[in-house]
Amino acid sequence: MNYTDLKDKNLNELQVLLKEKKVLLFELKAKLKTMQLTNTAELRVAKKDIAKIQTAMTAAKAN
């Protein structure tokens, strides 16, 4: 996911996307605790995606 993809979306779309990513992060953390997660890099990617979405939301609110 790139920031350029996100900056064109409106605030409602970003909120839905943020909720989906937070649920995904929760599931990944649960898998990590139960030793079912094989690729731990997915956690880092999910966190970075959440940060990008939040940045886009802040920019959308400023405009």
Predicted pLDDT of residue 46:
97
Q: 17-59: per-residue pLDDT in tens? A: 999 999 999 999 999 999 999 999 999 999 999 999 999 999 9
The domain that contains 44 carries what CATH number? 1.10.287
Domain of 53 in residue numbering reads as 3-62
Q: Which residue has the higher pLDDT, 29 or 7?
A: 29
CB 10 within 8 A of CB 61: no
CA distance 33 to 47: 17
Total domains present in the chain: 1
